[in-house]
Amino acid sequence: MPKCHALGCFYAVAISGAENAVQNREAGVRNLVNTYIAPIQAAADAFLWLVYPDGCMICKEASGPFLCDRCADDLLVPFPALVCSTCGHPRQVLPCRRCQMSPPAYVATRAASPLAGELAQVIHHFKYHDRPQLALPLGRLLARHALGIRHSLGDLSFDRVTCVPMLRSRERARGYNQADRLARVTAAELRLSYAPDLLKRAKRTRPQVGLHREQRQSNIEGAFVATGKPSVTGLRILVIDDVSTTGATLDACAVALREAGAAAVYGLALAAGG
Ligand SMILES: [Zn+2]
Ligand SMILES: [Zn+2]
């Protein structure tokens, strides 16, 4: 559809909607809704199509910026019923052997889905294809999931939500920190207070992708410090990331926050794996 045609539809649908409304004023609430809301919705869709000509990246419908609600809802793949109560990984014993042998500094962490299929593609676009707008549907999706598993996440009783900070040079190159964008939306949806600068990078680390478990652990150890702005003393904090792998990054964040006086740290990621 050419853009001028979309704009024509925008006005034509809106004008005909207004005329019909005058003629059917006594036709009841349903008619009013159909008369007013439908043209507005159509106009909004036409406008979105102008702004986002590709529409939803999965179904291609021009119903929203890059990812429609229906496709977003289908992205998550459930984990097996039995997961470690601490790290959230599928396990046969609770908590898992690794968490028993070496308890992490966080209380518990959960991912919404394994990193696979269309979710992996969407996250790849979110991170590497300049699609910060995906934060809105993905953040809403993560918030809905968090509400469903709130008993595993301290009943979502948190004083602050924060994100895993990115190296400044990497953030400048990308233009945004996808974990920050995601966490902002999720916190807002959950009506929780968001504080983006509780943590900062203390040292330069290699990207975790492609490293073995032990390498990830030593690479990320001591990577973060609490900024003290604001103080975290006595607070319960939720750290949000887009993808978690071994949990080593969250653990390093939790160590820094606990050292700064945080009462409890929990983690939440959109996907686990990678
Ligand atoms: Zn879609
Ligand atoms: Zn575990």
- How many Å lie between the centroid of ligand 1 and the Cα of residue 123? 15
Same domain, 44 and 76: no
**Domain region containing 238:** 69-272
- How many Å lie between the centroid of ligand 2 and the Cα of residue 93? 9
Same domain, 231 and 108: yes
Q: How many CB atoms lie within 10 A of CB 155?
A: 8
**In this structure, is residue 62 part of a structural domain?**
no
Q: With contact defined as beta carbons under 8 Å apart, do 112 and 122 qualify?
A: no
Same domain, 12 and 139: no
Same domain, 17 and 127: no
- How many Å lie between the centroid of ligand 1 and the Cα of residue 26? 37
Same domain, 39 and 175: no
**In this structure, is residue 63 part of a structural domain?**
no
Residues with CB under 5 A from ligand 1 (ion): 56, 58-59, 68, 71
Q: With contact defined as beta carbons under 8 Å apart, do 174 and 135 qualify?
A: no
Same domain, 45 and 82: no
Same domain, 18 and 86: no
Instruction: Give residue 43's pLDDT.
Output: 56
For the chain, how many structural domains are there in total?
Answer: 2
Question: How far is 94 from 91, CA to CA, in rounded Å?
Answer: 7
**In this structure, is residue 216 part of a structural domain?**
yes
- How many Å lie between the centroid of ligand 1 and the Cα of residue 86? 34
For 147-201, the pLDDT digits (tens) are 999 999 999 999 999 999 998 888 888 899 999 999 999 999 999 999 999 999 9
- How many Å lie between the centroid of ligand 2 and the Cα of residue 199? 24
Q: Which ligand is nearest to the CA of 95?
A: 2
Same domain, 264 and 158: yes
Instruction: Give residue 215's pLDDT.
Output: 76
Same domain, 184 and 266: yes
Q: Is pLDDT at 10 greater than 80 in this prediction?
A: no
Cα 148 to Cα 57, 84, 156, 190: the distances in Å are 26, 17, 10, 12
The mean predicted confidence, pLDDT, of the chain is: 81
Predicted TM-score (pTM) of this structure: 0.77
